[in-house]
Amino acid sequence: MLEKCKTALRITGDEFNTEIQDLINACIKELDESGIKAQTSNPLYQRTIITYVKRDFGWNNDDYDRLNESYNSQKIFLMNIGDDNEWCSILANIISRIWWNRK
């Protein structure tokens, strides 16, 4: 997950690894406390973590509100579907496309 998050953040160096990993761990803990068990092979679960990390990484994030809305939507969806479903990758792609096409 660390490398996927770094790619999403457009970070190539290792100087922020600890901060990014802390955010990943915090997200996994929050999802767990929301009743969502770790589903590391589920692309939607991965996208939810990436969205959380992008939302909380750094200071003065101009996209915070949009990322927060996206994260909460993804989390609610994961809470409703339970375990990994084969169509999650399709939905993850749809959510990702909707997010990037928003103005």
pLDDT tens by residue, 19-54: 999 999 999 999 999 989 888 889 999 999 999 999
Q: Which of 55, 70, 53, 62 is nearest to 17 (CA)?
A: 53
Report pTM.
0.79
Q: DSSP letters of 16-65?
A: THHHHHHHHHHHHHHHHHTT----TT-HHHHHHHHHHHHHHSSSS-TTHH
Structural domain of residue 91, as residue ranges? 2-101
User: What is the count of structural domains for the chain?
Assistant: 1
CB neighbours of residue 79 within 10 Å: 12
CB neighbours of residue 58 within 10 Å: 9
More confident residue, 45 or 84: 45
Per-residue pLDDT at 75 = 93
